[in-house]
Amino acid sequence: MTSLSPHPRRGISLLEVLISIGILAVGLTSVISLVPAGKSEAARSVMLDRASILAANVLSDAVTFGYTRPNSFTSTPAGTPSVVFDSGTIPVPWPASATLKTFGVFGTSATTVVVPRQVTDLVCQGRDDLIYDLPASPDDPPMNKFIEGVRAFQGRTSSLIALASVSGTTLAAGDLAKLTVVVFHNRDMTAPFVTGTYDTSRGALSLPVPDGRRLREIVRPGTVIYDPSAIPQNAWCQVAMAAADEGTNPTNPSVYVTFSGIAPVATGRVHVLVDSVGMAERVVTLEGPGPFSQ
């Protein structure tokens, strides 16, 4: 039996080469598109890792530095069942902001209400983003930068401290209180919070969005919301899932949220803490003056 083709076929045609190149290009495009997404997820994992470490550290440092000792701080108005320690240079949505007394760290009853900046930074600022001075020459190593004798940090990760009486009465030594730490990443101090409205029947949060920001950036998993209508120890709510609806009402868009644990107790005004990424809580016993706190 004779073959129909006197010469055997060798190689591949130009059409097959073009098809192979097209398939390879599609595959490489898919791989390249994953690089930015992977970089973003890696940055987010670092941010959440730093946030969790800072939250755990602040919970412990708050006890050490006198934030759970009522006689070491001042609050306004007096006798409130909850206080919040935050930067004194920004407006705050909560009714009582507290300040450590100058010697509150040592448990004395000093009346001065100005706390050294170093103490606040030491407790509420992340310590893993050092600032370095450029070396004088290429052969010299970079040196840690110091401001007013204190090692400088970029402060990308920061926090605030809230203390609320479990019984709802005045904060007093020997009583139980809930200690809450809210962690921020690259916090915008010019617009620290946004006031909106939460609808409990729909689970929808409506709020204006600051210029240059998007709703999905303001409200996302990990965002902390302050509910002024809740009892003091349950005023802090953390978002577990969020689905933004920015097309229905662009000037006052909505986002549907669920919470991990405590949720706002009623329909009404709430305050979204901008750039918050998480929170941690624990119940502590309020301390009083004594030989171990002097």
Residue 114: its pLDDT value, please? 46
Domain edges within the chain: 37-124+156-285
Residue 252: its pLDDT value, please? 67
Residue 281: its pLDDT value, please? 92
The predicted model scores a pTM of 0.77
Residue 239: its pLDDT value, please? 92
What would the DSSP string read from start to end of the chain? ---S-SS---S--HHHHHHHHHHHHHHHHHHHHHHHHHHHHHHHHHHHHHHHHHHHHHHHHHHHTTTT-GGGEE-SSTT-SEEEE--TTS--SSS-B-EE-TTGGGT------PPPHHHHHHHHB-SS-B-EEPPSSTTSPPEE-EETTEE-B---EEEEEEEEESSSS---TTSEEEEEEEEEES--TTS-EEEEEEETTTTEEE----TT--HHHHS-TT-EEE-TTS-GGG-EEEEEEEEEE-SS-TTS-EEEEEESS---SSSEEEEEETTEEEEEEEEEEPP---TT--
Residue 246: its pLDDT value, please? 61
Residue 112: its pLDDT value, please? 41
Residue 183: its pLDDT value, please? 92
| 254-289: pLDDT as tens digits | 888 999 888 888 888 898 998 999 899 999 998 877
| 132-176: pLDDT as tens digits | 788 778 888 888 887 767 677 777 888 888 888 888 888 888 889
Residues with pLDDT less than 50, the chain: 102-114, 294
